Structure 1
Amino acid sequence: MKKTWTLRRQLNILLALIVIFQSLALVFALFISRVYFMLDAEAVRLLNNTTETRAETFDTSVGQMIAGLADESKQLSTRMTDLAQQTGSTPQAIYRDDIAYNESAQIASDALVSILKQDRVTGAFFILNGSNAEKANGQAHSAVYIRNTTPDSEETANYSLEIGPTAVAKSYGMATSIRWDLDMKENEDGSQFDFYEKPFWAGTAYKGSEIERFGYWTKPIDLLKDNQQVVCYTLPVLDQDGNPYGVLGVEIDMPYFSQYYLPDSDLLYHNSFYVIAGMHDQALDLNWFIPGGVLAKTYLKSGEQLPMKALKDEGISETTLNDLGAMYSSMRELKVYSENSPFVDENWTLACFVPSQVLMENSQSVREKLFASIAITTLLAFSGVFVLVYFFTRKISRLSEYVSGLSPYDEIQFKPTGMREIDDLTSAVELFNQSLVTASQTTSKILELSLLPIGGYEVHDSSRNVILTDFLYWLLHIEPGIPVSKEEWKACLNRLRANPMEDHANIYRYDDEQRETQLWLRIIEAKQPSGVVGVIQDVSTEIEENRRLVNELDYDALTHLYSRTALKREVNRKLREKPDKIGAMIFMDLDNLKYINDSFGHEVGDRLIVRAGEIFRYFEPFGGIISRISGDEFAVYLHDFDHPDQVRDIIREFHDQKESFCLRTPDGESRRIRFSSGIAWYPQDADNVTELLKLSDFAMYEAKNTEKGRLFEFNREYYEQTLGEHKGESTDSTEEEPSPCIC
């Protein structure tokens, strides 16, 4: 029975589905409009713009600084060349002459002070190619090194002389450092002197190029061994022939570099920071890096390779930092070297790091608020639906309770609900009830007058007695109108159902002892919400007619032997009952039926067939199943044997009597009834009735073609050889003859 739902549940489900659909439609619309993706994309765009702007500002500032330093280098070269000519020396040897060296230190200090006033650097220096104080020391270099503790101020009082003649400090009124030295010395292993050697080498290797091509940036180094990390940029100082004899450079210490070149004032997100480092194979090389603040110093570990995973279609990369977790980074390569610089491969990359949660927190916040709004709205809508449906269906539920309490004999009178459609429906139901009562009474009367052998009953849950029609009173020998209780009816129904008919559902044999008759009854019941209804019909005539038809189909009209269909059914039954026993299918064909028909007519031919059927009934005492297959063909199946010889003995005894199988024809003569036979064994040759008939038929034809009137057993090898020949197959073996059985 199909499951039903209450109106209240259906309305709740329908309206709930509408609310869910609207909510999903809103979510889908937000998804299609790509609001969330646009918010994420805007956050990424702002991050990329911030990084791009900072990179451009850095490149501009550095470019101006390099241009100013190049001009100073050219001017310094000119003045040094003039000084060398005045002193009768050369720029390469100027450090050897004391007077010339002192003059050169003063000229260099003028250039350095000019650089410190113009460029935002924390120090400037000039280094010669040898030492005035230690001329024999190849690792010592005369130099002038001035630092400015307040780069944003032009007051020379804030300057300090780190390296160089004290006359320079006196001339500018600056203090000398507590680590003051006259020369700059190389390390014994030659390390950390790239700031001097590389621009010197570039000036020599690429002689004649613009001076900016020779510039070199150092990684953060402790240049003066004072535990102060600085970044240096140096250019060679060239003579009139373009040969280098010294370098001019600037330093920027880490705090000021971070403050001026990597300020956090333009960062849009908290916990974000800049860093400058090398970039190789999709990883930041932290063997050196310039931090842009405290966070960069804290969370970036020197000496590591930080892998960067590029994200599709966003222009940013993703990585993970301890404590901070997942980070997004926008990176730009800085233009610290020109494209023709020999140091262009030493790339500097600016990276802006932002925690992924921070970068997407605005879009995530909007997303969460939207989903929360949709969820709250949906819950409120659900609540409103349930309340409205409850009040709407309450009166209908009362009507249902009223109807469920009615008995079939109660008059229906509905109370108004105030809902026009429902009241119209109840009025229609009242009218229909009156019509139904009238129709029921009419139908009962028609059944009584129709004299059909059919009756009905109803077992109502709310009633103690069962409603019966007149036919059932007659069938059960009960006086009409006498109340029958549910218990009495149950006993009567069990008696009617005591003998079910095989292969026929809902049909039972009922022996009416009082009338001394046997009836066949069809009993059908149906469950109802209020109980059970049923119909009982006398189908005796129908069953007898069916049996007659089945008998005609199962038996041959002429010989009254089994038909082919009945033979198969009965053989299959025996095979199911005793599958482990031995059986034999004997296929027989009358040899002289055509001659009899042609000579004496079909009436005599029919007598021959009837006589053959009587002869073959010889096998019935042995449990044989005898069938007329068609025309002049018969089949006998024997089963329930332990050895084939038992069957062979039965067949031998049968054939010993064949001389007595005769038919007297109209010409007065007695003619022998001859037949050719073939036998196939179960389960040796086949395990099903269809195959047994086929193989025994094959053996019979071999007997008929070889010598009529004989019985041949099926030969598997001969059978397969014959099939091969029929298919056109060639064989080298000699032809096998089928093996005759016993006669």
Structure 2
Amino acid sequence: MKKQPIFTKILIPLMGLVILEILILMISIYGQGLFSLIHKNSQDIIESRVEARRNYLESLMVNQWMNVSQTVQKINLLADGLVDAGKMDIEAIDDSSENAAPFLSAVSTDLISMMRTNHVTGVFMILNADNLEESMKSKKYMDKPGLYFRDLDPESRASSENLDLLIERSPLLVVRNTQIATDKTWNTSFQFGTADVPYYDFLYEPTQATFYSKPDVTWEDMGFWSKPYTLFGETREAIAYSVPLRLSDGRVYGVLGVDILVDYLKQNLPSRELDGSGTASYFLSIHKSGNSEGSSTSYQDIIQLNSIEATIG
């Protein structure tokens, strides 16, 4: 009988011992739930990053983008003074772009300053003294005068001559006075009636909220975050935050707000911080309270940031 080499005699027991140790290690890992622990730790890391990003975005929205108080108060004081002096008819302010041009020109610098300070991609003011409910229901829309300025890169250094800005909507007088370039879709007014475009919800919701709210409800309580939208003729998608403009006697004469381009919003939600391979993404969810029709509870129709979740796939 041929004898086995010494190497074989030693190797076979060693292999058996290695296999036994591997089995013991696997049993130990599964028995102590190490795989589950590793998975949970990874999940906790993702959740902490999502929570940090949510807090960061919420801070931007509340403390920076929504910071319109000073501008609202300044414009309301100006409007009150002009009405009291008989230099502005608030009921006819939205009849035409020409009627509104002097007032819009007077506040254009304030809007641009607010856009710079808040680091937003757009700022707007739409003049309207009417209850829009019947017009919306009958689909007989009316053109409205106003201003709409855009800054496609709010993080870059601002030009002292506003060469980095675009005008989306404004009377000719504002274009001449500001010397800001007009965008290719520029118009002298918001052409809801001319183009048969329904009123944007950032105009309609705060306006109707003001008409149906109780006297003690402040304009801050009627702030409104819109759904994503595009201006007529444009392809750039944005969300907007708007508040109503009211005289000291409570009469409504328009809305003022800011916009955040969706592309800019995406820059503030970098998915690669979740997964370097680029297979992860953030998911923004919103919650809307109240109903969608103009009513006594419309002032509660505020779209709020509810949560940010991460999806990996």
TM-score by structure 1 length?
0.34
In 2, Cα distance between the equivalents of 1:95 and 1:221?
23
State yes or no: 1:161 paired with 2:173: no
- After superposition, the C-alpha distances for 1:389-431 in whole angstroms (9 at most, x for unaligned) are xxxxxxxxxxxxxxxxxxxxxxxxxxxxxxxxxxxxxxxxxxx
Query: How many Å apart are 1:210 and its aligned residue?
Result: 3.2
* 2:50/2:309 contact within 8 Å kept: yes
User: Who is 1:656 aligned against?
Assistant: none
Say if 1:154 and 1:262 are closer, same or farther in 2 by CA, change over 3 A: same
- Partner Cα separation in structure 2 for residue 118 and residue 108 of structure 1: 16
8 A Cα contact 1:165 1:182, kept in partner: yes
Q: 2:115 is matched by which residue type in structure 1?
A: L
Are 2:172 and 1:173 equivalent residues in the alignment? no
Secondary structure of 2:150's match?
Answer: strand
Deviation of the 1:22 alpha carbon: 4.1
Which residue of 197, 218, 231 corresponds with 1:223? 231
* 39 and 147 in structure 1: CA distance in 2 versus 1, 3 angstrom threshold: same
Q: Give the Cα separation in 2 of the matches to 1:88 and 1:168.
A: 19
Please give the alpha-carbon distance, in whole angstroms, between the structure 2 residues aligned to 1:344 and 1:52.
22
Cross-structure match for 2:211: 204
Structure index of larger Rg: 1
SS in 1 for 2:242: strand
For these two proteins, the number of residue pairs brought into alignment is 279
Give unmatched runs, 5+ long, in structure 2: 1-10, 131-139, 289-297
For residues 179-209 of structure 1, the C-alpha deviation after alignment (integer angstroms, 9 at most, x for no partner) is 3211102267663521111011122223432
Q: CA offset at residue 143 of structure 1?
A: 0.7
Give the match for residue 712 of structure 1. none
**Cα 1:83–1:98, aligned 2, differ >3 Å: closer, same or farther?**
farther
Quick one: which of 145, 149, 156 aligns to 1:146?
Answer: 149
Amino acid at match of 2:203: Y
Shift of 1:17: 7.8
Distance 1:72 1:266, change over 3 A: farther
2:266 is equivalent to residue 267 of structure 1: no
Report SS of the residue matched to 2:185: strand
Q: Higher RCO, 1 or 2 (CA under 8 Å, sep at least 6)?
A: 2
Quote the Cα distance in structure 2 between the aligned partners of 1:234 and 1:345.
Answer: 11
Aligned to 1:690: none
Structure 1 equivalent of residue 118 of structure 2: 119
Give yes or no for contact 1:164–1:183 (8 Å, CA) kept in 2.
yes
Aligned partners of 2:226 and 2:303 also within 8 Å: no
Q: Structure 1 residues 149, 202: closer, same or farther in 2, change over 3 A?
A: same
The residue type paired with residue 243 of structure 1 is R
CA contact (8 A) 1:121 1:151 kept: yes
Give the distance between the partners of 1:16 and 1:96, measured in 2 at CA: 92
Q: Given the superposition, is the C-alpha separation of residues 94 and 347 from structure 1 closer, same or farther in structure 2, using an over 3 Å criterion?
A: same
Give the match for residue 184 of structure 1. 190
Q: Is the 8 A contact 1:108 1:144 kept in 2?
A: no
Deviations 1:666-697 (A, max 9, x none): xxxxxxxxxxxxxxxxxxxxxxxxxxxxxxxx
Aligned to 1:240, which of 248, 260, 277? Answer: 248
Q: State whether residues 285 and 306 of structure 2, in contact with CA within 8 Å, keep that contact through their aligned partners in structure 1.
A: yes
Aligned-pair distance for 1:253? 1.9
2:308 corresponds, among 338, 350, 355, to 350
Matched residue type, 1:183: S
CA distance in 2, matches of 1:98, 1:43: 57
Structure 2: how far apart are the matches of 1:112 and 1:347?
Answer: 25
> For 2:229, what is the secondary structure of its paired residue?
coil
State the one-letter code of the partner of 2:178.
Y
Shift, 1:176, TM fit = 2.2
1:142/1:279 CA distance change after superposition, 3 Å: closer
Q: Which residue of 2 aligns with 1:48?
A: 47
Structure 1: how far apart are the matches of 2:287 and 2:216? Answer: 31
SS of structure 2 residue aligned to 1:242:
coil
3-state SS in 1 of match to 2:282: strand
C-alpha deviation, 1:107, in angstroms? 2.7
Cα distance in 1 between the residues matched to 2:18 and 2:122? 71
Secondary structure of the corresponding residue to residue 157 of structure 1: coil
- Return closer, same or farther for 1:143/1:117 CA change in 2, 3 Å cut-off: same
Aligned CA RMSD, in angstroms, stands at 3.3
Deviation at 1:273, TM superposition (A): 1.9
Deviation per residue, 1:202-231 (Å, 9 max, x gap): 222234323222122222212232222221
Corresponding residue of 1:34? 33
Give the superposition deviation at 1:345: 6.8
- Alignment check: 8 A CA contact 2:210 2:222 kept: yes
Please name the residue that 1:255 is paired with: 263
Amino acid aligned to 1:191: P
What TM-score does the superposition give when structure 2 sets the normalisation length? 0.76
Preserved contact between residue 242 and residue 257 of structure 2 (Cα < 8 Å): yes
Task: Map Cα deviations across residues 537-566 of structure 1 (whole Å, 9 max, x no partner).
Answer: xxxxxxxxxxxxxxxxxxxxxxxxxxxxxx
Alpha-carbon distance between aligned partners in 1 of 2:141 and 2:59, rounded to the nearest angstrom: 38
CA gap of 1:341–1:52, structure 2 versus 1, over 3 A, is farther
